[in-house]
Chain A
Amino acid sequence: MALMRWVFAAVLLTLAGSVVAAGIELREFDDPVMEQRYRDLTSSMRCPLCENQAIDDSDAPISGDMRERVYQLLQDGQSDIEIINHMVQRFGEYILYNPRLENRTYLLWGLPIGLVVLGMLVVVLMVRARRNASAKALSAEERARLDALINRERSS
């Protein structure tokens, strides 16, 4: 039992160690707003090498370089948009988890909205068609047939 506990503790320690190792350099921020911007920027950029990791939790050397650059540019007083442009200029649109709205991405951003609008249009048309059909006045022939049916019902 004691052995089990030891093994368990060792496993936990190893796991914790690897988490700390993957954890990223400590950075000093005087300004909590800037710290938040740093977190937002580094979590919104994809590591170009490892493909499905944001640069804020990637061990790849290039991710470290990119974090360092984001930090430096923040210290230089650049805006978020300037920093994003700086990175996209070098590594391409690929690194953005949220592609920017431009000619190439109109379809990407527009298609879901377009499909929802189309769906709503279809529903509206269907409802209207059904309403029209039920509100249609009876023709003379139909009215005569209806009267006949009602009279038969009454007389029986």
Chain B
Amino acid sequence: MTRRLLLLLLPIGFVGIALFLYQGLGRDPSQRDSALMARDFPAFEASTLRDANRQVDQSLLTGEVTLVNVWGEWCPACKQEMPQLLELADNGIRMVGINYRDTREKGLEFLSEFGDPFEVNVFDPEGSLGFDLGVYGAPETFLVDADGVIRYHHKGYVSPEDVRERILPEVEKWR
């Protein structure tokens, strides 16, 4: 009797492991959480895109829930998501941009052509702030709460559905 039971355990164990491995197979490896989730926004010091003499640091991101968008003029998806970002800003959400691996000239050109939903843009031509944020391609969007802690991360293009179904609820949640 125990022998039967033991023999039955083998196929059950096999199916268990197979199911466990199978659900990993269907996952999209590009949709993984940022390593900075629930951590403080990294310390930085940089000038702003519009004013080379104005210095900002991480205290820029405390006091209010803020959406931080990493963008560059060279990034096509950044242009496509601009209408959504403008709409978010119209909804009264504080937006801060990080101009990533770009030049001042091109960055400003981009803003005058596609609109500027950002209260301020941090100028990050070397991508060093981006590096500390674990950014490996633009666009990326981070939600930072009033204490300067990263609460949500969106990799890639922000679609109108993403705004409605993910970003707005997250902003409400952390306000």
Contacts and interface: CB of A to CB of B under 8 A. Distances in A.
Do A and B interact with each other, yes or no? yes
Interface of A: 48-49, 51, 60-62, 65, 69, 88-94, 111
B137 A94 contact: no
Given A62-B136, A62-B137, A89 B35 contact: yes
B35 A88 contact: yes
Given A48-B134, A61-B127, A92-B35, 11 more contacts: A49-B136, A49-B137, A51-B29, A51-B30, A60-B136, A61-B101, A69-B131, A90-B35, A90-B36, A90-B133, A92-B33
A61 B75 CA distance: 13
B32 interface: yes
**Interface range on chain B (Cβ under 8 Å from partner):** 10 to 19
A99 B35 CA distance: 15
Interface of B is mostly: loop
Contacts of B131: 65, 69, 90
Scoring A89, A90, A94 by chain B CB atoms within 10 A of each residue's CB, the highest score goes to A90
Interface of B: 17, 29-30, 32-36, 101, 127, 131-134, 136-137
A92 B136 contact: no
A91 B140 CA distance: 13
13 contacts: A48-B136, A49-B137, A61-B101, A61-B127, A62-B137, A89-B35, A90-B131, A90-B132, A90-B133, A91-B35, A92-B32, A92-B34, A94-B29
Contacts, number: 34
Contacts of B101: 61
B11 to A, nearest CB: 14
A90 B134 contact: yes
A92 B155 CA distance: 14
Contacts of A91: 35, 134, 136
A88 B10 CA distance: 38
B7 to A, nearest CB: 11
